[in-house]
Structure 1
Amino acid sequence: MDSDDAGASGLSILVVETDPAARIALLDHLRRRGFSVLESGHGGASIRAAYDRPFDYVVTDIDWSGVSDGSALARWVTANRPQTRVILTSKTLTHWFPADSTMASLPILRKPFRQEDLDRFLSPVAVMEMPGS
């Protein structure tokens, strides 16, 4: 898990992405926009991070598996940190959530996605390009 606390926008984001190359590109995009970023490549550390402190956003891949998964993280965050906006990502989009569940109302992006697609779900203040980037 890696942290960058110099978020110019003042907004924090937890990024959970299992693919290292996709994670690097995503982190670079978010840091250029001034987010304070905490990253993880798997579930256990990300759930602990969400438990330890609130985030403005959580962007999580839901295709990872194990004892905890992206869906478990998203469910925990929506139940315990209702002020946090959760954005799901998936390669397959074959996930089915009951219509009356919290998960069904969360935005989901199919990977690979354009950075502009992610920006639609982030605060307008946060998606402004930082000077010098």
Structure 2
Amino acid sequence: MESGDAGASGLSILVVESDPTARVALLDHLRRNGFIILESEHGGASIRAAHERPFDYVVTDIDWSGVSDGSALARWVTASRPEARVILTSKTLTHWFPADSKMAGLPVLMKPFRQEDLDRLLSPVSALVIPGS
């Protein structure tokens, strides 16, 4: 489901969060900050969305259950859309990625996380946007 117009920042973000309460809070925060949002609960819809269009950011829960998972989405995005910044979220933080893996350098936020921590991770790309571009 897509929401938001080209807001203050106009940056696009794919949000994948299986917990409805966490997803609503996250989406509300991102809308207030002017992001163009595509949201997904999990699975195939988010992977199809990532294939169909570029995003400035992908914020994905890596604790999905089912056929595919947030790690698979993150690996695809880092390989196929290297310009996108991927931010992982997890309730457990028991994930281990080999040092030579594309996943090793990705930021992981422990849920529940503070909005300020997410904002800190979102700011590097925002700082590169040239007003009026």
Fold in common (TM above 0.5): yes
Q: Which residue does the alignment assign to 2:6?
A: 7
What residue identity is the alignment partner of 2:75?
Answer: R
Q: Which residue does the alignment assign to 2:26?
A: 26
User: Equivalents in 1 of 2:107, 2:124: separation in Å?
Assistant: 16
Cα pair 1:60 1:88 within 8 Å, conserved: yes
User: Equivalents in 2 of 1:7, 1:36: separation in Å?
Assistant: 6
Moved over 2 A (4+): 123-127
Cα displacement (A) at 1:7 = 3.0
Cα displacement string for residues 62-93 of structure 1 (whole angstroms, at most 9, x for unaligned residues): 00021110000000000000000000000000
What residue identity is the alignment partner of 2:21?
Answer: A
Cα pair 1:18 1:42 within 8 Å, conserved: yes
Percent identity at matched positions? 79
User: Equivalents in 2 of 1:126, 1:39: separation in Å?
Assistant: 20
In 2 relative to 1, CA 21–97 (structure 1 residues): closer, same or farther, beyond 3 Å? same
User: Equivalents in 2 of 1:85, 1:125: separation in Å?
Assistant: 8
Count residues in correspondence.
Answer: 126
Structure 2 counterparts to residues 1-133 of structure 1, below 5 A: 2-8=1-7, 9-123=9-123, 126=126
User: Equivalents in 2 of 1:25, 1:5: separation in Å?
Assistant: 15
What residue identity is the alignment partner of 1:4?
Answer: S
Cα displacement (A) at 1:5 = 4.0
Matched position secondary structure for 2:58? strand
Matched position secondary structure for 1:119? helix
- TM-score normalised by L of structure 1: 0.91
Cα displacement string for residues 3-38 of structure 1 (whole angstroms, at most 9, x for unaligned residues): 014031110000000000000000000000000000
What residue identity is the alignment partner of 1:63?
Answer: D
